[in-house]
Structure 1
């Protein structure tokens, strides 16, 4: 599936626009940078206890797997990353695959965005 994702987006010109990463590369995802939330919710005391316990933990750095790079029209590189979010109490998890800005990814294998 991933290897065919760009078949309807041909590259034209001198600038790289996308690249599939084979095999997928290990990365760390800065979750707060990848999934920004409403600033007011930055105060944990303002959120009910059951929500803090059962809601998704959107902080810290977690391991992920980088599958592809794609360039946005403003020049920003986005990485297609697979990772797993946990709830505040750690009892539940949610598998996620999403496009994350390059600044939210910490490369482990030296596979940064294409030049």
Structure 2
């Protein structure tokens, strides 16, 4: 079933759907965090999309699809942190 699901939510309603193996996606961080110019050079970089992996689809309490994604959020001063969290489906696209 999931072989046909790229980075878009399943069309039929239901519970959470794990994606195994995870699918490569791009996460639109400006849309997720409210994009703006990079004004603080050593802050977290949220002004550009990043590559990540889609691990599951789920529904929120209003019935909208949300995506469980993992990606590395980078700092302006170098190191980053790998994060895993639920994001709105609109900020995820196939890679």
**Is residue 99 of structure 1 aligned with residue 56 of structure 2?**
no
- Which residue pairs with 2:31 in the alignment? 33
- Count of aligned residue pairs for this structure pair: 84
Call closer, same or farther: CA 1:98–1:28 in 2, change over 3 Å: same
Higher normalized strand content (fraction of residues): 2
TM-score of the aligned structures, taking structure 2 as reference length: 0.76
2:41 is paired with a residue whose SS is: helix
Higher normalized helix content (fraction of residues): 1
Distance 2:33 2:54 in 1: 16
| Backbone CA RMSD of aligned residues | 2.0
- Which residue pairs with 2:21 in the alignment? 23
- Which residue pairs with 1:79 in the alignment? 67
Distance 1:55 1:100 in 2: 21
Give every structure 1 segment of 4 or more consecutive aligned residues whose post-TM-superposition deviation is greater than 2 Å: 33-37, 42-45
Distance 2:51 2:27 in 1: 6
Distance 1:60 1:31 in 2: 6
TM-score of the aligned structures, taking structure 1 as reference length: 0.64
Where do 5+ consecutive residues of structure 2 fail to align? 1-11
How far apart are 1:43 and its partner, in Å? 5.7
Where do 5+ consecutive residues of structure 1 fail to align? 1-13, 46-51, 109-115
